Structure 1
């Protein structure tokens, strides 16, 4: 078989050798340094090298959608990772939270909907799971769309003990999609979920109404 006809995913976890793991930082999150090598496509393996890895844990994100009103709920809050960009560090995002031990992603979705937006999901539909930035972090996001009523939704939420200050915005789905097009929404979870909604809106209006 030539190199041009080989199928992807010929390697597995068994094709990576980790000689040493060391913790280089332990706070709210943990950073490790790996000493490793791995198989090469052309045969043999790499020499030993080092990589730092951010062990963040997995998360769940949900796009609340009202199929009757054709509206979504997006949350505005401060994010330090958006500082020093040519934009506001207050972002429009999805309902989201870290998965705690013993919780399913669905458990997290329902918990965070209440805490962050005062919402109750009537049902959840899974969109996908994706690795956030696998070159440097272990985080996997479980992404959902949640059926809600936006009647009376919106307002200020968040847990003071977690330093959360959240404003929940109700907006037309079309307006949210325009914010992707013009760059006002530029975080991955919201972009993926809203683009999925653009493809699935007609079906959800039929099935969820």
Structure 2
């Protein structure tokens, strides 16, 4: 390995970038070369890139009841690969304006779950599928009062039909183990909360 090689944007040469599709999302085709760990530039390669807005996901947590609020909705991406394409998920939304991630978290909690969130606890930020998408996810725990939460929510003009569930945290963790909760953001947030529950409740109760 070439010890002088330092990975970074300057180690990539974009030969050509072509827009293949433009809608709410975008698909680009890139021809590029990048430096190799062994030294020198590699061969030209072609990659399709799904260009998305960054996303915000938040797990509403009621520290008094040790309960979480999850939403359930149809997901077209799961239709051909899951027995049930209605997934249990976090409250989530895209940053498609000049809003800050925290503003999106509060807004989406109201729209999708009828919840007013209190404090937000940042968990992490991550790329869910960097091999073919540039989407970046901002992940939070949001303090809430789950009493009275439930029902069906969502914006009709966006085709949303979202059912709200309030579960004891232990039940949600068991659903992760059982595979009933099978999407990355939910698994990451719930496992993080399981590891940090005492600290979170110590500050929020």
Normalised by the length of structure 1, the TM-score is 0.95
- Which SS does the other structure have where 1:126 is aligned? strand
Q: For each residue in 1:169-207, what CA deviation from the matched residue of structure 2 results, as whole angstroms up to 9, or x when unmatched?
A: 001000000000010001000000000000111111111
Instruction: Identify the residue that residue 107 of structure 2 maps to in structure 1.
Output: 111
Q: For each residue in 1:44-93, what CA deviation from the matched residue of structure 2 results, as whole angstroms up to 9, or x when unmatched?
A: 11111110000011000000000110000000000000012242000000
State the alpha-carbon separation in 2 of the partners of residues 52 and 100 from structure 1: 22
State the alpha-carbon separation in 1 of the partners of residues 194 and 173 from structure 2: 8
Q: For each residue in 1:68-123, what CA deviation from the matched residue of structure 2 results, as whole angstroms up to 9, or x when unmatched?
A: 10000000000000012242000000000001221110010000000000101110
Gaps of 5+ in 2: none
1:21 aligns with 2:17: yes
- Which SS does the other structure have where 2:142 is aligned? strand
Match of 1:153 among 134, 139, 149: 149
Match of 1:129 among 108, 125, 130: 125
1:37 aligns with 2:37: no
State the alpha-carbon separation in 2 of the partners of residues 107 and 100 from structure 1: 12
Post-superposition offset of 1:31 = 0.1
- Which SS does the other structure have where 2:77 is aligned? helix
Post-superposition offset of 1:21 = 0.7
Instruction: Identify the residue that residue 177 of structure 2 maps to in structure 1.
Output: 181
Gaps of 5+ in 1: none
Instruction: Identify the residue that residue 140 of structure 1 maps to in structure 2.
Output: 136
Match of 1:192 among 188, 193, 197: 188
Instruction: Identify the residue that residue 77 of structure 1 maps to in structure 2.
Output: 73
Instruction: Identify the residue that residue 198 of structure 2 maps to in structure 1.
Output: 202
How many pairs were matched up?
205
State the alpha-carbon separation in 1 of the partners of residues 195 and 158 from structure 2: 35
Instruction: Identify the residue that residue 63 of structure 1 maps to in structure 2.
Output: 59
Q: For each residue in 1:10-52, what CA deviation from the matched residue of structure 2 results, as whole angstroms up to 9, or x when unmatched?
A: 2110000001111111122100000100000001111111100
State the alpha-carbon separation in 2 of the partners of residues 149 and 124 from structure 1: 13
Normalised by the length of structure 2, the TM-score is 0.97
**CA RMSD, Structure 1 to Structure 2 (Å):** 1.5
- Which SS does the other structure have where 1:153 is aligned? coil
State the alpha-carbon separation in 2 of the partners of residues 36 and 74 from structure 1: 41
